[in-house]
Amino acid sequence: MDQSTINLALGAALAVAGWFARILWETVQLLKSDVHQIEVGLPINYVRKDDMDKRMDHIEDMFKRIYDKLDGKQDK
């Protein structure tokens, strides 16, 4: 095996490795972009836990008042 064959084989191997590395880099950049879009859309698409807790507390207070009124009507 002479030096030119070794250089050709090594060059081909490095070309394939470079192509694979470029594909991986582009894929990682695309994933970063997708994650960023998800982070931006989270407050729009989903309710925060604090907001949901406040709403549930309000609904529980309303039910408590309704139950108290029903108990008052039942006693009469």
Give the pLDDT confidence score for residue 19 in this predicted structure: 98
Cα 36 from Cα 33, distance rounded (Å): 5
Exposed e or buried b for every residue in 4-31, given b needs 16+ CB within 10 A? eeeeeeeeeeeeeeeeeeeeeeeeeeee
Cα 21 from Cα 27, distance rounded (Å): 10
Supply 40's token pair: 């931006």
Phi-psi region of 47 (alpha: psi -120 to 50; beta: other; left: phi over 0): beta
Give the pLDDT confidence score for residue 71 in this predicted structure: 82
Give the pLDDT confidence score for residue 76 in this predicted structure: 60
pTM: predicted TM-score of the whole model, two decimal places:
0.54
Each of the 76 residues of the chain gets a pLDDT tens digit; together they read 799 999 999 999 999 999 999 999 999 999 999 999 999 888 888 888 888 999 999 999 999 999 988 888 776 6
